[in-house]
Structure 1
Amino acid sequence: MATARKGRGGERERDASAPPDPEPLRVPVADSHTHLDMQGGDPDELVARAAAVGVTTLIQVGCDLEGSRWAADFAATRETVHATVALHPNEAPRLVHGDPDDWSGLRRPPGGDRALDEALAEIDRLAALPQVVGVGETGLDYFRTGPEGVEAQQLSFRRHIDIAKRHGKALMIHDREAHADVLRILQEEGAPETVVFHCYSGDTEMAKVCAEHGYYMSFAGNVTFGSAQPLRDALAVAPAELLLVETDAPFLTPKPYRGRPNASYLIPWTLRAMAEVKGMDEDDLAAAVAANTARAFRL
């Protein structure tokens, strides 16, 4: 195992090496949210490495036009990889307003709405493809985009909800510090048949609301972090029949390899941590998660 070492100034350098393979799962599962295009290296090798430890299905997620096209193209020729397509919540303000260094005093430039409309039209086209099983990641992110971007985000989210409903695809939600508005807009627009909260970040009360509406909750490696007790509390009350597992790779690497590059082959660490929180046998939870993923994305 590689270890962190001190740099020239005496500070510790981050270990950027790939973690070793975990013990394989006995019951195969899917990584319900990964970004193969952001991980470097050969994506087919990443798919194979995941399969070798029991992560036999991957959902490749688009965040912008380029990434959504890549996801659809890659999934078209790989039997075990499926795609979702969308504009990430933070993409909508960039399309409408441009990408300013300073958001203060922001004004909407000419053509901003048209740029968003054109991008959404392309997402609509891609969503119709058979290898595309979901519309996402869409939603709201009030952490990285300030108040000036809220209008564009909410408009984009509503349009993605419509696209998902018209094509009969799962809606994959990115929700960061925007729980109340995400739930409100889902109610106002009428939620699609299938809603997935990617990298679930709500509390126990929100988990109960999601359960009441039949929304899936997908947990990532951050559920293993020491500071994530509220997430574990939410997981504890979430019904097993609504649970998914994901990496959000290359982000959110689970313990004990937090801070190192994440990839789908590390799913077993997260799933085992989830089983411990739920008080479930590992194989039973894996079987439930596999069935839930197949049902949510109609695999």
Structure 2
Amino acid sequence: MPEAPAPLAAPVIDSHCHLDVVRYGAADADVLPVEDALRKASEANVTRIVQIGCDLPGARWAVEAAETYDQVVAGVALHPNEIPGLLAAGTLDEALAEIGRLAQTSVRVRVIGETGLDHFRTPEDGWKGQEDAFRAHIELAKRHDKALVIHDRDAHADILRVLDDEGAPDRVVMHCFSGDAAFARECLARGFFLSFAGTVTFKNADDLRAALRETPLDRLLVETDAPYLPPVPHRGQTNASYLIPLTVRAMAAVKELPEEALCAAIEASSVSVLGEW
């Protein structure tokens, strides 16, 4: 695993993490066990983590983890790239019903997500099924008063169209924000929160940094998407929550803010989305 950076000057929340990849086994033998990942995160002043489930086993495990570890709350959903397979098996309605049940399982389930649209990995003939499932997740978030966490890959216009059609929940997070400044303004005009990952540190991410400059502090979150998308200088390695200081420091430089001030703003925005725990 990469060397740990210096701890942050103030605590922040990792708004999107996949500890279940550790739980089920990952290709990279260096991935940390869950307890070690949480300990190292705390040592870096990343004091709390949102564990995101992307399929039924992952959603069930997210709820279990949130009930087991004080640092963790859960998100439950069917990832858009899971939808074509569920449709082919004829089990999508049953799976959505279980996501609805899991959303009510515990007060520590704070998120419906990640859901949304992926026009990169799913061929065009699967887009309608993704959209129908996305609409169902939006309804679940509103019905159960949960934050909606959105996966948007190469689908900016359709994400906004569906949310405008359905009416967005009170709290919407654009996970691993991937748009430019113009798209950021569209999202912010709708009251959404933008969550930035290690990608904002990449050399070729000028559009992301421009979007970050557009984002008010009260709409700004940070995440790892671990074990994916580690920040520079660890691009291509295994990510973990303890590496968030590298992302936050890069964001602070873009925003021209002291590290402690940005941490405080991210913490406040995260709590406004997720509540206290």
TM-score (norm 2): 0.95
Q: Does 1:120 align with 2:96?
A: yes
Aligned residue type for 2:101 = R
Moved >3 Å (runs of 4+): none
The structure with the larger Rg is 1
2:87 to 85, 96, 105: 96
Q: Which residue of 1 aligns with 2:260?
A: 283
Q: Which residue of 2 aligns with 1:22?
A: 5
Q: For residues 146 and 168 of structure 1, what CA distance do their matches in structure 2 show?
A: 32
Deviation digits for residues 193-239 of structure 1 (CA, Å, limit 9, x no counterpart) = 00000000111111111111110000000110111111111111111
Aligned residues: 267
Aligned partner of residue 148 in structure 2, secondary structure: strand
Q: Does 1:251 align with 2:209?
A: no
Q: For residues 191 and 32 of structure 2, what CA distance do their matches in structure 1 show?
A: 37
Q: Which residue of 1 aligns with 2:248?
A: 271
1:76 to 62, 67, 78: 67
Q: Which residue of 2 aligns with 1:109?
A: none
Q: Write 1 or 2 for the structure with the bigger share of helix.
A: 2
Q: How many Å apart are 1:137 and its aligned residue?
A: 0.3
Q: How many Å apart are 1:64 and its aligned residue?
A: 0.3
TM-score (norm 1): 0.88
Q: How many Å apart are 1:30 and its aligned residue?
A: 0.5
Q: For residues 205 and 9 of structure 2, what CA distance do their matches in structure 1 show?
A: 27
Aligned residue type for 1:65 = L
Q: For residues 38 and 92 of structure 2, what CA distance do their matches in structure 1 show?
A: 33
Unaligned runs of 5+ in 1: 1-17, 99-111
Aligned residue type for 2:62 = A
Aligned partner of residue 90 in structure 1, secondary structure: helix
Q: Does 1:31 align with 2:14?
A: yes
Q: Does 1:46 align with 2:37?
A: yes
Q: For residues 142 and 41 of structure 1, what CA distance do their matches in structure 2 show?
A: 31
Aligned residue type for 1:37 = D
Q: For residues 260 and 41 of structure 1, what CA distance do their matches in structure 2 show?
A: 13
Deviation digits for residues 271-292 of structure 1 (CA, Å, limit 9, x no counterpart) = 0001111111111110000010
Over the matched positions of the two proteins, sequence identity in percent amounts to 53
RMSD between aligned alpha carbons? 0.8
Where do 1:51-200 residues align within 5 Å?
51-98=42-89, 112=90, 115-128=91-104, 129-200=106-177
Deviation digits for residues 108-159 of structure 1 (CA, Å, limit 9, x no counterpart) = xxxx2xx100000000001112110000000000000011110110000000
Q: How many Å apart are 1:34 and its aligned residue?
A: 0.4
Q: Which residue of 1 aligns with 2:27?
A: none
Q: Which residue of 2 aligns with 1:14?
A: none
